[in-house]
């Protein structure tokens, strides 16, 4: 009975997320998304005879030699994108000090991006990962693929709660045969992923969406507390009444976030912060606007 109630509650949450995500995708982000992302490259269409004003670089010299008159290659823009939502479901994403956990926020953001991509005519796929890739759904069209992705994000249980962004990056490098758009939704609490993720960003359009709980920026003064690592199980007692302890933790958190931002910039990875508490829509909107400006 408890399991049935749990399933019913999950489906209610999926339905609520669907309603909100559809509305935002249609009313707020449809234009932003369309102006920010487009198909990768050009598809060959046909040959036609050269006309004054045509680009000389498109002349096909083999056909020109056979026909004894200049012919050029015509192309059409490939507009359909393959979008991959790479979502971290490691143990640390189950944490949330306020309204939502990181995983719940990730599901909401994934739904918004998924429906935005769908309304743009793009295919949407999903990679769930923790210590290793947990589930991969190849890119497909239709709202059902988005809804299944949301349901899997909320319910999947990784066999190992650790995190390996490097493993997820290598999996996508091996799996994706054509250039795609990859949204990495993770708290990025991991190490040693710089080279694999950097390589992935050179071959695909990667966008990083670091999910952050506000309490991770600074711990309040609540006396002695026992902190437990949800991935390793290790525990430590911290005296939060000690000013030096609180300041030290805040500095470490800030330094890590700054290092992450520097890494993204170095590898040309666009990013926008996602808060579990505060409104993240403005940050996503600015991200889309920056990309749209670059396209112009």
Residue 115 phi, psi dihedral angles, 5° rounding? -70, -35
In this prediction, residue 68 carries a pLDDT of: 84
The structure tokens listed for 16 are 């609520």
| pLDDT tens digits, 36-61 | 775 544 455 567 787 776 767 778 88
Could you tell me which residues come within 8 angstroms of residue 296 by beta carbon, excluding any fewer than 6 positions away?
A: none
CATH number, domain 2-37+80-295 = 3.40.50.410
The pLDDT, as a whole number, for residue 42 is 46
What's the pLDDT at 132? 97
Return the closest-CA partner of residue 40 out of 86, 79, 76: 79
Six-digit token string for 286: 């600015």
Summary count for the chain: helices (H), strands (E)? 9, 11
Structure confidence at residue 5 (pLDDT): 43
b/e sequence 129-139, b meaning 16+ C-beta within 10 Å: bbbebbebbeb
Half-sphere exposure of 288 (CA within 13 A, CB side): 21
d(CA 22, CA 114): 9
The ranges of the chain with pLDDT < 70 are 1-7, 10-11, 27-28, 30-31, 38-46, 53, 55, 74-80, 143, 295-296
DSSP class of residue 135 equals: E
**How far apart, in whole angstroms, are the C-alpha atoms of residue 211 and residue 106?**
7
pTM across the whole model: 0.80
Dihedral sign for Cα 194, 200, 204, 208, please: negative
- All CATH 3.40.50.410 domain ranges in the chain, comma separated: 2-37+80-295
User: What pLDDT score was predicted for residue 125?
Assistant: 95
């Amino acid at each position: 009975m408890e399991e049935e109630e749990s399933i019913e509650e999950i489906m209610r949450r999926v339905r609520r997320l669907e309603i909100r995500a559809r509305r935002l995708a249609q009313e707020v982000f449809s234009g932003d998304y369309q102006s920010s992302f487009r198909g990768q490259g050009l598809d060959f269409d046909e040959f036609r005879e050269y006309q004054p004003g045509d680009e000389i670089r498109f002349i096909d010299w083999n056909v020109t030699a056979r026909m004894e008159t200049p012919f050029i290659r015509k192309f059409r823009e490939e507009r359909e994108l393959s979008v991959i939502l790479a979502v971290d479901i490691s143990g640390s994403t189950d944490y949330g000090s306020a309204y939502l956990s990181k995983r719940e926020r990730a599901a909401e953001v994934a739904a918004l991006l998924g429906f935005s991509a769908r309304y743009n005519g793009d295919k949407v796929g999903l990679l769930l990962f923790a210590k290793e890739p947990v589930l991969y759904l190849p890119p497909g069209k239709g709202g059902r693929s988005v809804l299944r992705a949301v349901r899997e994000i909320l319910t999947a249980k990784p066999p190992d709660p650790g995190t390996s962004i490097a493993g997820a990056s290598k999996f996508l490098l091996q799996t994706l045969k054509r250039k795609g758009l990859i949204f990495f939704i993770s708290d990025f609490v991991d190490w040693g992923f710089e080279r694999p993720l950097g390589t992935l960003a050179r071959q695909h359009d990667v966008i990083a969406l670091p999910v952050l709980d506000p309490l991770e920026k600074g711990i309040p003064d609540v006396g002695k507390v026992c902190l437990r690592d949800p991935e390793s199980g290790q525990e430590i007692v911290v005296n939060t009444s000690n000013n030096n302890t609180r300041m030290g933790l805040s500095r470490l958190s800030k330094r890590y976030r700054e290092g992450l931002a520097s890494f993204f910039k170095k590898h040309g990875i666009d990013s926008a912060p996602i808060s579990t508490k505060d409104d993240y829509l403005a940050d996503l909107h600015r991200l889309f606007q920056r990309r749209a400006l670059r396209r112009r």
